[in-house]
Amino acid sequence: MRIHCLGGGLVGSFVTRKLVEAGFDVHLYDVTERQTTATFHLEDALQANHDLADFVVNMLPGSLGNQMTSILKDSSLKIVDLSFSETTPDTLTDVSSSILWDVGIAPGLSNMLVSMAVREFGTLDEVTIKVGGNPAQPDGEWSYMAPFSPHDVIAEYTRPARIISNGEKVSVPAISELHSIDANGRQMDAFLTDGLRSLLDLPVKNMGEYTVRWPGHIQKYQESELNPDELIEAWKMDLAKAEFTWMEVFIKSGENTQRWIVEDNGKENDSSMARTTGLVTASCVIAWVDRPEMLGSGVFAPEDLPSEVIELVIEVMRSEGVSIELH
């Protein structure tokens, strides 16, 4: 089984390593030299030949990832798309490949948990997703390090947020509904961002996704005059600093409520965001290899996955030390 991994950043390198450990013939493509146990190709993934691949795992940044999936949509390949692009794969037409998209923590695991609730309860009255990867302690400056493409972080802060209000899809300005929350004993800020994506099509009356940051971070961003390149430098990831990823998925249907809490603090030089995102991605690839008929041709979101695969993803994450609790 030959798998092409495209993009070797923090998350891409983690996923690549996990797939090598699972015994696959893994080829990593990147324009930057990477230390990897996979076969490495120092070349532009968009220009490379992927005809020999059985699977392609697209972990390129936003718009580049969208271009890549668009190029491969007629290749009849199995494609796992983790690129967080504004233009999503479900807008593609005449697709002969099989594309599974947004398989990270949020979107990704969050979608899976909500879809399981829909299967159990039917229509949901309320879904609130709160998620963020942050330094373990605020630092008096940005109190933030970007664990994935900073350009995608900036896009989160600027794109209008699509939510569901009283059963209707509406768009509100990004960073709306800024408020203080308790994130496992930490006082943090949460604000609306455009992370629901395919979840907008589920039968939910009220739903929104909130990004979680230390107090003062988003206010500093709103007041900042730094350009994107300067922000990228200011938010550079420092793996020597302790950090964590935390997510809460709250679901209400009539008198029934579920509150999922996911938390990770990183492990053995792997960041928490690389782990919580990459374990979902790698688990989906491995499950698909084991179940080749799991998805046909076309474009599929995480909520389309079988319940047994969602349960497998949760089991793998727990076995790797990620805390996932249902309250």
CATH number reported for the structural domain that contains residue 171 in this entry: 3.30.360.10
Are 178 and 198 found together in one domain? yes
Residues 53 and 150 in one domain: no
Q: Is omega for the bond preceding 107 within 30 degrees of 0, making it cis?
A: yes
Return all residues near 65 (Cβ < 8 A) that are at least 6 apart. Answer: 6, 7, 58, 59, 81, 82, 83, 84, 85
Q: 124-157, pLDDT tens digit by residue?
A: 999 999 999 999 999 989 999 988 777 888 889 9
Question: Which of 230, 253, 271 is at the close of a domain?
Answer: 271
Q: With the C-alpha atoms ordered 148, 150, 152, 156, is the resulting torsion angle positive or negative?
A: positive
Q: How far apart are CA 284 and CA 78, in angstroms?
A: 12
For residue 85, name the pLDDT band (cuts at 50, 70, 90).
Answer: confident
Domain, as residue range, for 193: 109-271
Q: Are residues 245 and 122 in the same domain?
A: yes
- 307 lies in the same domain as 164: no
Do 237 and 302 fall within a single domain?
Answer: no
Beta strands 256-264 and 243-253: pairing type?
A: antiparallel
pLDDT-based confidence at residue 54 (cuts at 50, 70, 90): very high
Domain count, the chain: 2
Residue 15: which CATH number?
3.40.50.720
* pLDDT for 88 beyond 80: yes
Is the CB of residue 320 less than 8 Å from the CB of residue 313?
Answer: no
What average pLDDT does this structure show over 215-232?
93
295 in the same domain as 201: no
Nearest of 288, 228, 243 to residue 80 by alpha carbon: 288
If you average pLDDT over residues 66-93, what whole number do you get? 94
**278-300 pLDDT, tens per residue?**
999 999 999 999 999 999 999 99
pTM of full prediction above 0.85: yes
Predicted confidence (pLDDT) per residue in 181-198, tens digit:
999 999 999 999 999 999
Task: Please give the pLDDT value at position 148.
Answer: 73
pLDDT of the residue at 61: 86
Residue 254 pLDDT: 97
* Same domain assignment for residues 262 and 287: no
pLDDT of residue 63: 81
Same domain, 93 and 161: no
With residue 246 as reference, give the H or E element that holds it.
Answer: strand 243-253
* Region 242-265 average pLDDT: 98
Q: Domain check: are 160 and 299 in the same one? A: no
Identify whether residues 71 and 195 lie together within a single domain.
Answer: no
**Whole-angstrom Cα distance, residue 21 to residue 15?**
10
Q: Are residues 190 and 116 part of one domain?
A: yes
For residue range 32-48, what is the model confidence (pLDDT) as tens digits?
999 999 999 999 999 99
Do both 118 and 235 map to the same domain? Answer: yes
Q: What are phi and psi of 123, to 5 degrees?
A: -65, 135
Q: Calculate the average pLDDT of the chain.
A: 96
